[in-house]
Structure 1
Amino acid sequence: MAEVVLEHVRKVYPQGGHVAIADASFAIGDGERLVLVGPSGCGKSTLLRMIAGLEEITSGTLRIGDRVVNDLAPKDRDIAMVFQSYALYPHMTVAQNMAFALQLRKLPKADIDARVRQAADMLELGALLQRKPGQLSGGQRQRVALGRALVRQPQVFLLDEPLSNLDAKLRAGMRAEIARIHARTGTTMIYVTHDQVEAMTLGQRIVVMKDGVVQQIDTPMSLYRDPANLFVATFLGSPAMNTLQGMLRQDEGPVLNLGDGLRVRLPDARLPAAAMEGEVVAGIRPEHLAVAGGKDAMLTATVETVEPVGNEVFVNLRLGAHPLVARLPPEDPPAEGQPLGLSLRGAEVLFFDPASGKRLVA
């Protein structure tokens, strides 16, 4: 186990001068499970490959434990990596695949057998050790790939979108499996994903990235409740946060004018001073909209579609040109095409600068 520290790490590709990683400075604690998340092309996998030694660091310092590893080969960094593709040898059995790296290190056979058996028991692969990858399901192959990393007993686990090839049910099961493995081993783990649900459920802390720049680092619920900017706010959460851009005015209380005669009455909550009289983006989570009638309704939108998902329904609405989603209880869902009055929970409305996207704080 080891702490991983990045100090002003940059990655610039010489062809065209593309900046893949602008200036990454943060630490992953010894034994921490940290997730790098962001859309495709944001640099998260590049950053992971730099930690692994598969991409050269243009500038900055990378430490694993008490060693600066900028110039160390991947095999000398004491890391183990699990890729999106299982990368299993098809002609080898499960046991042989898991043991291969240990055999290259010329460990005693008894030690290799013990490590393989221990990892197989942890991953419930004991009955599959003599099968070959072609005889396994996708979830079983991914567990073998995890087992191959486990037997190495590294200081740091690196996982690059390892669940992307699995269906939704298997992904949920494997997320729990990875969390259990981390709890049992206590090994520092860095996990890359583009899936914000995966990030929220797996990360003890999350690094949100966009265009090679770290946007915010915090615990999952702190990011959800207190995003630093509009990108973080809209990227995390399913369904995504609703956004309404307009002019904020005081008219017997705060009102957001959306244009075309559309107005949204806002709750009497503490408003950011910078937004008291000007253009803002208001952010409203779907769960912070509630059905209301009469004077309690702060806006009225038209129901377009209703998506029942069991214990709740997602109601897609239209407020002029503005789409909205409300997360409502499943009882008596509204009918499509009808107007629906909604209220907003005041303390939960967030405000952002429309030019910079920066959060405006009261």
Structure 2
Amino acid sequence: MASVRLDSVRKVYDNGQVAVQGASFEVADGELMVLVGPSGCGKSTLLRMIAGLEDITSGTLSIGDKVVNDIAPKDRDIAMVFQSYALYPHMTVAENLAFGLKLRKHDQATIDRRIGAAAETLGLTTMMDKRPGQMSGGQRQRVALGRALVREPSVFLLDEPLSNLDAKLRHSVRTEIARLHRQLGTTMIYVTHDQVEAMTLGQRIVVLKDGEIQQIDTPMALYERPANLFVAGFLGSPAMNILQGRLVQSDGLFLQTKQDLRLPLGAARIDPGWLDTELSVGIRPENLQPGSGQAESFEAVVDVIEPVGNEAFLSLRHGIHELVARVAPENLPRVGDLLKLHVAPDRLHFFDPVSGRRLLPG
């Protein structure tokens, strides 16, 4: 096992495109770190630089105590799992698992021991004579994981390994990866655009946008204390409601939007200097609740109701404002109903509307 450290790592292509802008962070020995962001944010490029598949334009990359900028991929003691499985179709599961070990001239006893252990861990023992074409997507992804596992590397790199699977299989293989990490205690760096994968797998998460790191923290810290408007809107499903307006104090605290929504904020904790200034206010869907008995409430029309079992999502409209509330599935309103709502004042998020950065009282 080994730590991975990036110091101002930057990638600029020959055409001048900046794919990664000075990334600096450390993945601790044995940590599972997730790189997440929208398509084109630089997360896969960053992973490929760690793997040695992309040259580093500037900065320093270290694995353990060794700077590896100029070290070939095969000598970095890493194993990579790709989105496309990359299995040899003419080989059996056993032959796919053994192929890399044979190339590295391991003796047969070592190969048999490692393949047996990986097959047992991943539930592949009854499939060793099958070829990839005879297997489901989830089974093939487990073989791809097993091929990395038998290498016994210092660092595992996983590049969107679940994106080709259906929802049920994604959950199953995601659980498998989490269990493997706990069992092996190996350093893992996992790339995904799926925030659910990021939140459920990562011990810490690196959020990227346009090649630049936006925030690094634990999943719940990112959710509860997003550093800026991008992180606030990217993490969470449904996404955070964002409203922009002027903060006013008049028989209570309100956000007065340009479209004449007067949103009562109750006893929200603010900085006095924010009054009469333009702010963006974020409200998580679970913190926007029906409340006909609340004095500090406003009305919105129910546009769409999405019951999903243990909860329901209400798409709401107040003038031109579109809002989403997460509510209990009992006693749901009907489409077209005028619903009274109130916000949880102690769960509001305030942001500078120009820079997007999070604002804190004091």
AA partner of residue 54 (structure 1): L
Q: Which residue of 2 aligns with 1:247?
A: 246
Q: Is it true that 1:213 corresponds to 2:212 in the alignment?
A: yes
- Separation (CA, whole Å) in 2 of partners of 1:195 and 1:102: 32
Question: Is 1:174 the counterpart of 2:173 in the alignment?
Answer: yes
Residue in 2 that maps onto 1:196: 195
Matches within 5 A, 1:38-187: 38-187=37-186
Distance 1:49 1:295 in 2: 53
SS in 2 for 1:103: helix
User: 1 CA distance for matches of 2:200 and 2:101?
Assistant: 32
Q: Contact 2:290–2:342 at 8 Å: present in 1 too?
A: yes
Compute the displacement of 1:274 (Å): 4.6
- Decide which moves more: 273-282 or 76-85: 273-282
Amino acid at match of 2:9: V
Counterpart CA distance in 2 for 1:160 and 1:192 is: 5
* CA deviation map 1:224-275 (0-9, x unaligned): 0011101001100011000111111111221111134321111212113452
The equivalent residue for 1:324 is 323
SS at match of 1:192: strand
Residue 295 of structure 1: how far off its partner (Å)? 4.6
Aligned to 2:255: 256
How far apart, in 1, do the equivalents of 2:260 and 2:100 lie?
Answer: 68
Deviations 1:126-175 (A, max 9, x none): 00000000000000000000000000000000000000000001101111
TM-score in terms of structure 2 length:
0.98
**Matching residue of 2:5:** 5
Q: Which runs of 4+ in 1 moved over 4 A?
A: none
SS in 1 for 2:156: strand
Secondary structure (helix, strand or coil) at the match of 1:30 reads coil
State the distance in 1 between where 2:217 and 2:104 align.
38
Structure 2 Cα separation of the partners of residues 198 and 257 of structure 1: 37
Q: Please tell me the residue identity of whatever aligns with 2:117.
A: Q
Distance in 1 between residues matched to 2:275 and 2:150, nearest whole Å: 58
Query: 1:117 is aligned with what amino acid?
Result: G
What do you get for the CA RMSD once the two structures are aligned? 0.9
Cα distance in structure 2, aligned partners of 1:46 and 1:323: 35
Q: 1:137 to 1:287 in 2, by over 3 A?
A: same
| TM-score (normalizing by structure 1) | 0.98
User: Which residue pairs with 1:352 in the alignment?
Assistant: 351
State the alpha-carbon separation in 2 of the partners of residues 322 and 285 from structure 1.
Answer: 15
Contact kept, 8 Å, 2:294 with 2:342, in 1: the verdict is: no
| CA drift at 1:27 | 0.2
Aligned to 1:285: 284
Q: CA deviation at 1:294?
A: 4.9
CA change 1:272–1:43 in 2 (3 A) is farther
Q: CA deviation at 1:297?
A: 4.5
Alignment of 1:336-351 (within 5 A): 336-351=335-350
Tell me, what secondary structure is at the counterpart of 2:268? Answer: coil
Q: For 1:63 and 1:227, how far apart are their aligned partners in 2?
A: 29
Q: Structure 2: how far apart are the matches of 1:214 and 1:273? A: 31
Aligned counterparts of 2:198 and 2:329: Cα–Cα separation in 1: 27
Could you tell me how far 1:319 is from its partner in structure 2?
Answer: 1.3
1:350/1:59 Cα in 2 relative to 1: closer, same or farther (>3 Å)? same
What runs of 5+ residues in structure 1 fail to find an aligned partner?
Answer: none
1:61–1:68 contact (8 Å) kept in structure 2: yes
Quick one: which amino acid aligns to residue 80 of structure 1? A
- 2:211 counterpart letter in structure 1: G
Deviations 1:26-71 (A, max 9, x none): 1000000000000000000000000000000000000000110000
Return the letter of the residue paired with 2:217: D
SS at 2:141 equivalent: helix
1:35–1:274 distance in 2 versus 1, CA, 3 Å: farther
CA distance in 1, matches of 2:81, 2:148: 7
> Quick one: distance in 1 between partners of 2:354 and 2:3?
38
Distance 1:129 1:273 in 2: 68
Contact 1:249–1:276 (Cα < 8 Å) also in 2 = yes
State whether residues 297 and 341 of structure 1, in contact with CA within 8 Å, keep that contact through their aligned partners in structure 2: no
Q: Distance in 2 between matches of 1:179 and 1:260?
A: 46
State the secondary structure of the residue aligned to 2:152.
coil
CA contact (8 A) 2:265 2:296 kept: no
Instruction: Give the number of equivalent residue pairs.
Output: 361
Aligned to 1:259, what secondary structure does the other structure show?
coil
Q: Which deviates further from its counterpart, 294-303 or 333-342?
A: 294-303
Instruction: State the SS of the aligned residue for 1:128.
Output: coil
